[in-house]
Structure 1
Amino acid sequence: MQTTLMIYDGAAPADSDVPRTGGVPLAPAGFTWPMCGDCCGGPLQFFAHLPVEDGVLSVFVCQNDPGACEFWDATSGANRVYLFPREALRPVAVPGTGVTLLPATSAIRTHVVTLDHEDACDFEEGIEPDAYDLARSGWKREPEERFGKQREVLGSLGGSPSYLEDDRLPACPSCTGTMEFAAHLEEGISTQTAMNLGGQLGYVFVCSVCREGAFLTD
């Protein structure tokens, strides 16, 4: 059982083409900054730039009045996920109003955690162990340490959505098929770098055929 964790790796240039949270989005020519389709109508905040096998995932979430717009709902219009091709991406002009950028840009490095049967034996009999939960809770934990360093974990790439019920899996708005899980997102290592997820875990989904994306929290 393998999980690809996303680990905080210090500051990054705001317009770099590396895995990161914050900074300025990179998009193809002609891209228009997304606006909230729920209640506020303001520009969404850019959360993450995540290079993946099929391109680059770009995640936006409404933060103009946290809690007013339903940014946790995949169908509310208060968030947006784009799957861009890797070629010809350029920094996007940032709107002059609204909550658009995170306070800091955080580089991400990936770390593959392999869990064996013994790692899952602590779970109650009959309960399927959750790969992401196990990998995150054990990050950098040494035998003599009481606690690990889970705050360094910014999420994971691929795998399966942690503890998310099947009836919450989003459908692609174009083909209506169930989207594939792409990434978990955690709030971040500090208040200066954090994405506001309301204290919840974020989920990113994608339909690679239609190049549609979705975001929700638990």
Structure 2
Amino acid sequence: MMQTTLMIHDGTAAADSDVPRTGGVPLAPAGFTWPVCGCGGPLQFFAHLPVEDGVLSVFVCQNDPGACEFWAAGSSANRVHLFPREGLRPVAVPETGLTLLPAVSAIRTQVVTVDPEDRDDGVDPDAYDIGRAGWKREPGERFGKQREVLGSLGGSPSYLEDDRVPACPSCSGTMEFAAHLEEGLTRETSMNLGGQLAYVFVCRACREGAFLTG
């Protein structure tokens, strides 16, 4: 049997709440400044994800989707921060630029257990892929239910080639997979990722993060 910790859309949340969510405003330590893309515009805040050893804060450029390499690890068009849990406060939002999603999506986690033998298409089993598909059957299938899955926490990166796993820019060690992120449930709550699945990686020793899509 395989288990995956899915992140499920759970309604709305306050924009500055310290709960798992996409959208809203980032919470960061004092002195943090809003990240800027190489195009000169501010990045858009995507997700606030409390994890075991801190908070992952994810930003992606949406100023001109497709023009900036938001899909590439190490690009100036995305940013992942691993903040400590203590002393976080709402960050002042830049007055111009595409900085915030129109709506906030609260996230709850759900462990889904599925049997790899349920997959009969001849493809090697993938924990996230099977778990996301399995969500349609827990607790009951309905149209569009699979879009409620906003990603997953931990586990292994879904169908990502080994040579795309990023190295930490500080210590050059291989980074650890932290989360999948889907575009979102609706137009108001979703990030434009070109229809791709996003991957978040961290180096916990250096407190560095990385983002890519594939």
TM-score band w.r.t. shorter chain: over 0.9
C-alpha separation in 1, matches of 2:189 and 2:21: 11
Pairwise mapping of residues 161-180 of structure 1 onto structure 2 (< 5 A)?
161-180=157-176
Secondary structure at the aligned position of 1:96 is classed as coil
Structure 2 contact 112–134 (Cα < 8 Å) conserved: no
C-alpha separation in 2, matches of 1:216 and 1:65: 17
Does 2:208 match 1:216?
Answer: no
Does 2:155 match 1:159?
Answer: yes
User: What percentage of aligned pairs have identical amino acids?
Assistant: 84
Secondary structure at the aligned position of 1:205 is classed as strand
Q: Quote the residue 2:42 is aligned against.
A: 43
Length-normalised TM-score, structure 2? 0.95
Structure 2 contact 199–213 (Cα < 8 Å) conserved: yes
Q: Return the offset for 1:118.
A: 3.2
Q: CA RMSD in A?
A: 1.6
Q: Return the offset for 1:195.
A: 1.1
Q: Return the offset for 1:128.
A: 2.4
C-alpha separation in 2, matches of 1:68 and 1:162: 26
Q: Quote the residue 1:6 is aligned against.
A: 7
Pairwise mapping of residues 1-218 of structure 1 onto structure 2 (< 5 A)?
1-37=2-38, 40-120=39-119, 122-124=120-122, 127-141=123-137, 145=141, 149-218=145-214
For structure 2, the residue ranges without an aligned partner over 5 or more in a row are none
Structure 1 contact 141–147 (Cα < 8 Å) conserved: no
Secondary structure at the aligned position of 2:11 is classed as strand
C-alpha separation in 1, matches of 2:50 and 2:180: 14
C-alpha separation in 2, matches of 1:110 and 1:176: 31
Aligned pairs, number? 213
C-alpha separation in 2, matches of 1:22 and 1:133: 24
How has the CA–CA distance of structure 1 residues 145 and 96 changed in structure 2, closer, same or farther, with 3 Å as cutoff? closer
C-alpha separation in 2, matches of 1:62 and 1:200: 15
Length-normalised TM-score, structure 1? 0.93
> Once the two structures are superposed, what CA deviation does each residue of 1:10-55 show, in whole Å capped at 9, x if it has no partner?
0100000000000000000000100003xx1110000000000110
For structure 1, the residue ranges without an aligned partner over 5 or more in a row are none
